[in-house]
Amino acid sequence: MGPNKSLDEVKIIAAMLHDVWLQHGVVFNLSSYRKTLKKVLRRYDREGIGFLTKTLPRLGKALDKAFAGIRLTAANHGFKTMKGSELPIFLGEFISRILGPDGALLPNPCENSVKVVRQILYSFYKYEVPYSADQELSVIEKFERTDHNLQAVNERASALYRDTVDNKDWPSPATRRGTRRQTLHRARILLARLFARFDPKDVKPRNGPGAVAGKQRQWDKFRFINVSANITSIYPRDAFYCASMGHVCDEYKNFSSSWTEEDLPARVILVPKDSRGPRLISAEPADYQWIQQGLGRAIVGLVERHPLTKWNVFFTDQTPNQRGALLGSSSGRYATLDLNEASDRVSVGLVRLLFPSNVFECLMACRSSATELPDGRVIRLNKFAPMGSSLCFPVMALTVWAILTAAAPNADARKSILVYGDDVIVPTAQAADAIEQLESAGLKVNHDKSCTSGLFRESCGTDSFNGVNVTPVRFRTVWSPSRSPEVYSSFIAYANELYDRQYFTTYDYIVEELLRVYGAIPGEDMHLACPSLRDVPADQRPRRRRSNLRLQKQEFYVWDVQSPHTRRLLPGWLMLLRFFTEGNIKHPNRIQQRVWDRVVGGPLQVAHPGTPQGVLGPAQLPDTCSAATRAYFETMFREWLAEHFATDPLMLLGQTTTAGGDREVPLLVGEYTQRNTSKLVRRWR
């Protein structure tokens, strides 16, 4: 079983098998439990962790395919079969209640058996074990190969786009409904209706939480030393990268001296995903990320409130797709489709063909046209945007929705389409045509994970069989014997999920190891705002307590996961820029408003040494800003002054007027606060 590292993965499987024996002793008796456990231990000794992360999930996938009509042959997946049957001896007591001896689905399969089998087979499928250099190389090669294949897709889409520009009657009235050209034409009309009143230049830019190509820290992202000329052709630097005209005046000399306009490439980075290998994402340049965040949020807001899409396309709520999967597995009316490499297969040509020209122009202005691979090579991108760009998810979802809705034969079919990223639900009757339409547009459907027949459906993390949720508890975080905030919170969550499913032996085993490493852990019945277990022995609960008279409650000294703050000093203009883009302060209170009205009254006039006198704030935004943007910045500026300078709001920049006359004050400096990676701390809760 390998070296003793406290909690062992195979011990978790052994505890699960023990729980299965206790719950289903009639089907899985003591003899079956001992034989199955012996097989697990023997194969784990021989294959290592790969038996749990690869071999068992491979059998689970074959079982899921059997639900769709593809017969199971256990011998093809490394398992011995029962005599005269295609079913495996391993967990055969339950699999025989789901499939017949020939590997086909029984007329009345047992849903509880499906739950048990999938829990054992998929427990460690998502386990974040370290990946090898070969897996890294494979992911990068796949990324390059997919992007190279999009050249042909771009050429076909460009030819169709030229037809739309040159021929006003494209497609001709004689074109048969349902053809590829007709579908793309209708998809283009749908997106034109969606964006009819949308101004892609009226956005609120902001920095994203992720890494950027230049490796700037979060507080350094506001120092826009370089802004690509590709961006400023649509989003001027003075309107979108400066807090106000006062900021422009102060930094005017830097525009021609230290500020550059290079078009820098993005940077490909690999992040842990699961046992199958790393995930590839793109770290965008800071100047691109700034506009991408604003435009992406504006598109998401439009889609979530527009009557054409608000019931079909989702970005923050997975519940509709999850309910659709449950309903589809019981009634068979709905199919679930999963797109393979979805973010890497939306080509630039397809986006240009479908999206309105004014929206496409802005999308291209903040799109990275090249990326740097880990080995230092820079390649031009044929895809619109890889994963990591703020525009990848909304553009991909709208592309899929537009194509499927345009191809739908009637209104009922259009209403039944649900899109959440690359998870799609369509009526089963139109599933084959939907797959054909998506693949003809250059997208790739994952046929192994798409469920178009049978009793099984999967969408947005919910696995459904015959109307029953059969989603297993999947372990992701690797256990560590040293104290870690990720391990602490994750394994408490895993234990609670297993407790809810009556895997009490497994729950007790995990809790025992948690108590050994972390000491006393609170129970949920203590009602504390910290990670808590469903059930904890009385002698293992926190004992150190105090009475908080201010809050009128009793507090306990417990472990908690806390996000520490990093404080960095920023110049006043950059702090003001940060507030305009990230601030979410409500209207100032009455005292702040009274101070503002008494001291400021009208627009704040500021004289800057060596620069012309002007109005501070958004009162003189460039003409390129829309009325909505102008009004928004005006409101945010007044709130910022009232919030941060209630005692002396005039003392902001340049000069302030006092009873004794004018005097110069230095540019105020604010603190930038950033939440870092969580840490485990003891505190009163």
Among 193-202, 237-246, 560-569, name the most confident range. Answer: 193-202
Domain assignment present for residue 330? The answer is no
DSSP H/E element including 44: helix 30-47
Domain assignment present for residue 146? The answer is no
- Mean per-residue pLDDT of the chain: 83
Residue 614 has a pLDDT of 33
- Who wins on pLDDT, 268 or 591? 268
In this structure, are 598 and 554 located in the same domain?
A: no
For residue 683, pLDDT over 60 is answered with yes
Of 253-267, 446-460, 490-504, 533-547, the range with the lowest mean pLDDT is 253-267
In this structure, are 541 and 598 located in the same domain?
A: no
- End position of a domain, from candidates 86, 101, 122: 122
Structure tokens at 233: 């052709």
In this structure, are 582 and 527 located in the same domain?
A: no
In the chain, the amino acid numbered 485 is P
CA of residue 75 relative to chain centroid, distance: 38
Domain assignment present for residue 616? The answer is yes
- End position of a domain, from candidates 562, 591, 614: 562
In this structure, are 518 and 595 located in the same domain?
A: no
The pLDDT of 347-374, averaged and rounded, is: 94
Q: What is the pLDDT of residues 34-64, one digit of tens each?
A: 999 999 999 999 999 999 999 999 999 999 9
Of 107-116, 246-255, 363-372, 591-600, the range with the lowest mean pLDDT is 591-600
Domain assignment present for residue 659? The answer is yes
In this structure, are 584 and 622 located in the same domain?
A: yes
In this structure, are 540 and 618 located in the same domain?
A: no
Residue 243 has a pLDDT of 85
> Could you tell me the pLDDT band of residue 659, with boundaries at 50, 70 and 90?
very low
Structure tokens at 33: 């439990």
For residue 188, pLDDT over 90 is answered with yes
> Could you tell me the pLDDT band of residue 590, with boundaries at 50, 70 and 90?
very low
Full strand arrangement of the beta sheet holding 370-372: 277-283, 266-274, 370-372, 378-380
- End position of a domain, from candidates 95, 122, 149: 122
In this structure, are 38 and 96 located in the same domain?
A: yes
> Could you tell me the pLDDT band of residue 612, with boundaries at 50, 70 and 90?
very low
561 Cβ neighbours under 8 A, 6+ residues apart: 485, 488, 489, 530, 531, 678, 679, 680, 681
C-alpha to C-alpha distance for 90 and 59, rounded to whole angstroms: 10
Q: What is the pLDDT of residues 279-324, one digit of tens each?
A: 888 899 999 999 999 999 999 999 999 999 999 999 999 999 999 9
CB-CB contact of 361 with 255 (8 Å): no
Domain assignment present for residue 584? The answer is yes
Domain assignment present for residue 490? The answer is yes
Residue 165 has a pLDDT of 63
Q: 257-278 as b/e, with b when 16 or more CB fall inside 10 Å?
A: eeeeeeebbbbbbbeebbbbbb
Domain assignment present for residue 231? The answer is no
> Could you tell me the pLDDT band of residue 458, with boundaries at 50, 70 and 90?
very high
> Could you tell me the pLDDT band of residue 256, with boundaries at 50, 70 and 90?
low
> Could you tell me the pLDDT band of residue 658, with boundaries at 50, 70 and 90?
very low
Structure tokens at 504: 């009490």
Structure tokens at 657: 């007027």
Structure tokens at 158: 């460009």
The pLDDT of 396-425, averaged and rounded, is: 94
For residue 275, pLDDT over 80 is answered with no
Residue with tokens 């700037």: 216
49: left (phi over 0), alpha (psi -120 to 50) or beta: alpha
Structure tokens at 578: 């940060």
In this structure, are 539 and 631 located in the same domain?
A: no
Provide the strand spans (E) within 530-629. 545-548, 553-562, 565-571, 605-606, 614-615
Q: What is the pLDDT of residues 625-657, one digit of tens each?
A: 555 555 655 565 555 555 544 433 333 333 333
Angle at 329 between CA 74 and CA 187, to 5 degrees: 110
In this structure, are 506 and 609 located in the same domain?
A: no
In this structure, are 581 and 517 located in the same domain?
A: no
Residue 616 has a pLDDT of 36
> Max alpha carbon distance in the chain (Å)?
102
Backbone phi and psi for residue 110, each to the nearest 5 degrees, phi listed first: -90, 120
Full residue range of the structural domain in which residue 14 is found: 9-122
Structure tokens at 129: 């074990």
Residue 133 has a pLDDT of 81
For residue 200, pLDDT over 90 is answered with yes
Q: What is the percent of the chain with per-residue pLDDT over 90, rounded to a whole number?
A: 58
Structure tokens at 614: 């002007």
> What is the number of domains present in the chain?
3
Domain assignment present for residue 314? The answer is no
In this structure, are 14 and 117 located in the same domain?
A: yes
For residue 668, pLDDT over 80 is answered with no
- Who wins on pLDDT, 167 or 148? 148
Collapsing DSSP to helix, strand or coil, 119 comes out as helix
For residue 434, pLDDT over 50 is answered with yes
In this structure, are 612 and 655 located in the same domain?
A: yes
> Could you tell me the pLDDT band of residue 550, with boundaries at 50, 70 and 90?
confident
- The span from the first CA to the last CA of the chain, in angstroms, equals 40
